Amino acid sequence: MKSKKHENLDNCFEVELPETPEGLKEVSDTLKLGLSTDEMLRVKEYFKNLGRNPTDVELNAIGQAWSEHCCYKSSKVVLKKYIFPLEHKDMLLRGDAGVMSFDEEYAYAIRIESHNHPSAVEPYGGAATGIGGILRDVLAMGAQPIALIDPLFFGPPDMPHEKLPEGVKHPKYLFAGVVAGIRDYGNRVGIPTIAGSVHFDPSYTSNCLVNVGCVGIGKKKFIRKNAVSSPGDNFVLVGGLTGRDGIHGVNFASAVLTEKSDVEGRPSVQLGNPIMKEPLIHSVMECVEANLVEGVKDLGGGGLSCVCGEMAIAGGCGAEIHLDKVPLKEEDLAPWEIWVSESQERMMLAVRDENLPRVKEIFELYDVPCTVIGKAIPEKKVRLYFKGVKVFELDIDFYTGGPEYTRPFVVKKREKTKERKLPPPPKPEELEKIFLTILSDLNVCSKEWVIRLYDYEVRGRTIIKPLTGRPSHQTHADAVVLKPLEDSYRGLAIAVGSAPWISALDPYMGGVISVDEVARNLASVGAIPHAITNCMNFGNPEVPEVLGDFYEVLRGVGDACRAFKIAVPSGNVSFYNESPSGRILPTPVVLGTGIVKDVRISASTDLASSDGYIYLIGETQENLGGSAYARIYGIEDAPPVCNPTNAFKYVSAVVSGIERGIIRSCHDIGDGGLAAAIAEMSIGGNVGVDINLDGVNMQEDVFLFSESPTRWLAEVDEENHEEFERAFAGLNILRIGKVGGKNIDFFKAGKKVLGVEIQTAKKVWNETLWKIMG
């Protein structure tokens, strides 16, 4: 690669772009731009027309802006097809986070994204900075963050070391590190970590998934676009200093992991500082609420380069930036490093001249750095100066535009007609063993080990908590309910859904059922589903089958959201989640919100009475595909199906039953099937149940462990049962049992087919993670 020093600067270079494709590729590789040959040809063409060579600053900025992570070049065409057309009356804004109407005066912001690759290399720092980044996305809308949500996916934490592929860190180490990173960042920054999920599957061994979500609330009149308002706006950089941490982070996120990633990817992982973030949130919110800022944007993947360009273009302007004004961690950073660094805890504000003094005063009180680094200009160009010397001048449309690809894809044919291999009906003593095995399975068992490390109550707004029930007998909640406003009982419910195993068998159904799972979780606390944000985790999109899965999952998500009348105001796509030792399951992660009209009507999963009826709501399908039972016992079967239009009727009926107070407690049926769900309710209420299987026309084990979607268990007081049955007229319900005693017992034709003491169930359900993680 040929380059020469900039005539007036020692730390800036002019790069000669060779004529040959090979030569161009070499430039991209040498500078770690992550650009393909075709993309380099486009760059070459642009500078040829300008009649000059690019600087290293310009090339780095293009490499960053055109990465998959920044411009969604492989996914945009699919999102445009299935997600962007979805409309919703309450959707106010799409931006760094999506904004939804909460009530007349307030809006909430919601976003989820991935921090997979940094966490695979450096679990503690990767997860912590993931939290930091998602907080800023929400803050950038002018909303106060009020909740953090963390869906996590790892290889089996009890996997033997000798089975670990080369260069891969042990799942137990990754799990512990990620959880510690979330704990230390989230707890310190004072935003409650209220929900999430932990999934384990061998496919995540060499590429764990760390998705981080955040929800915030703010007055509608202060919600801001991530944009400058007009020429003359000052770019005010606030928060942490800029350093060499996090250089080329987005390019690292947009490539397949290799056994060398540990060493080579390390500089791409940023360093987090929650004690800078905490006052940063305060000071930004104070400026927003005093109406002193025109627009806010988060400095995350892509650094100053992305932020200045995107804020300017969104406001119909250009930008002029003085890189030497940027406060640095170390003095000798080159201009290109300053421009693309992804150092943490930084935000950009667009501020009019007259508001600058008050903005500066607010940041000074909180001891948060605040520096004017440039201005919005009328021309649609971005110009950079370093010590008075111009080092960069690009048309803003060109560099923030980025390519968009319609890559080839195939929808993989799955053998749906394959003969089912249902297990023979188990004997009663075998049934008990299966039940306890499923309860203790990593994907079903209690996640208390994780949950109690997170402060889920700071801010005092958590009304239904992630662990619910009497302090001595707590169980998992389906969704968490927050009461975001001091003067209103209106609630915001938050839940997570993901169906990787079903997605692997039928990606379209995986998409539908992920949304169904969120909707039924929200319904069971009494919330009408309102919005989702999603993080789509897939392998390499240049592999047609991977992209085919992506198309199908999104088609499913889109169809489900339309049927459930759910908005999708934001989302994130994470590709390249694979390594030479394997590819992850197609993993859609859906974070949903629902509105609770009055938090005082919410229901939780712990049984509340000592003699109520138990109803099964919804239809049980015989299919076991994708269930915990099938995975543990090697049962091959097709996955269940979900009809979202039908499901929406059930969701509405469940919410109405809770609002009217005729459902005392409610639990959706998910991992581990009906048997696991009833055990969790029983454990939470510390009271037993007698379940009668007489009305069931399928093999008991199939009925008990099927994970058919759109189902709930509801506890109904005897005096309300007629009203309940009337309310569900036309829908599938079955009164299957009664609360009472100290055992979880199942009967058929008067004979007990399965019986376990609550204490036994509680013990096996509780101890799995504690035993492995210590």
Partner 1 sequence: MNVADVKVCVLRIEGTNCELEMAECFRRLGAQAEILHLKQLTGECSPDKKRQLSEYQILMLPGGFSSGDYVRAGAIFAARMKNALMRDLVDFVEKGYAIGGICNGFQILVELGLLPGIDKTYSEVPEVALGINDSARFECRPTYVKCESSGKCVFTRNIRKGRNLLIPSAHAEGKLILPDGKADEMLQRMIEQDQIVFRYVDYMGNYSGYPWNPNGSIYNIAGICNSTGNVFGMMPHPERVFYRIQHPDWTQNDIGENVGDGRAIFESVLSYITKKF
- The residues assigned a catalytic role are 69, 115
Candidates 147, 338, 394, 463; binder of partner 1 (CB under 8 A) is 463
Helical (H) or strand (E) element with 532: strand 528-537
User: Which one among 100, 464, 616, 651 touches partner 1, defined by CB under 8 A?
Assistant: 464
Instruction: Provide the 8-state DSSP code for 161.
Output: G
Q: Helices 56-65 and 303-314 meet at what angle, rounded to 10? A: 70
**Under rule CB under 8 A, residue 457 binds partner 1:** yes
Report in angstroms the alpha-carbon separations of 277 from 118, 132, 138, 150: 20, 7, 13, 19
Of 33-41, 317-325, 463-471, 570-578: span binding partner 1 (CB under 8 A): 463-471
Nearer to partner 1 by C-beta: 10 or 486?
486
CA distances from 675 to 472, 476, 691, 751 (A): 22, 15, 10, 17
451 binds partner 1 (CB under 8 A): yes
Which two structure tokens, joined as six digits, stand for 269? 């992982």
Give residues with Cβ within 8 angstroms of 575, minimum separation 6. 68, 74, 75, 254, 538, 539, 540, 541, 546
Binding pattern for the stretch 279-298 against partner 1, x by CB under 8 A and - elsewhere: x-------------------
Of the pair 160, 471, the CB lying nearest partner 1 is at: 471
Site for partner 1 in 346-375 (CB under 8 A): 361, 364-367
3-state secondary structure 327-376: CECCCCCCHHHHHHCCCCCEEEEEECHHHHHHHHHHHHHCCCCEEEEEEE
3-state DSSP assignment of residue 738? strand
CB of 252 to partner 1, least distance (A): 27
Q: Which residue's CB is nearer to partner 1, number 370 or number 512?
A: 370
First to last CA, the chain: 53
Instruction: Indicate whether 689 belongs to the interface with partner 1 (CB under 8 A).
Output: no
- Is the distance from CB of 288 to CB of 377 less than 8 angstroms? no
- Can residue 683 be called a binding residue for partner 1 (CB under 8 A)? no
Looking at the DSSP assignment, which residues form a beta bridge with residue 322? 385
Among 11, 53, 187, 488, binds partner 1 (CB under 8 A): 187
Q: How many residues bind partner 1 (CB under 8 A)?
A: 48
The nearer residue to partner 1, 240 or 301, going by C-beta atoms, is 240
Footprint of partner 1 on residues 486-515 (CB under 8 A)? 486
The size of the chain, in residues, is 774
- Tell me which residue of 300, 391, 400 sits closest to 343, measured CA to CA: 300
- Smallest distance, partner 1 to C-beta of residue 356, A: 15
274 binds partner 1 (CB under 8 A): yes
Which has the closest alpha carbon to 693: 708, 703, 683? 703
Q: Which is nearer to partner 1, 44 or 483 (CB)?
A: 483
> Which of 132, 318, 469, 688 is close enough to bind partner 1 by CB under 8 A?
469
Residue closer to partner 1 (CB basis): 274 or 302: 274
In whole angstroms, how far apart are CA 734 and each of 640, 688, 711, 712?
19, 19, 11, 11
Minimum distance between the CB of residue 604 and partner 1, rounded to whole angstroms?
4
| Interface map 583-602 toward partner 1 (x if CB under 8 A) | ----------------xx-x
Closest separation in Å from C-beta 480 to partner 1: 12
Return d(Cα 118, Cα 44) in angstroms, integer.
31
Q: What is the closest distance, in whole angstroms, from the C-beta atom of residue 635 to partner 1 in the complex?
A: 36
Indicate whether 564 belongs to the interface with partner 1 (CB under 8 A). Answer: no
List residues binding partner 1 (CB under 8 A).
183, 187-190, 274-276, 278-279, 361, 364-367, 451-465, 467-472, 474, 483, 486, 599-600, 602-604, 606, 608, 665, 685
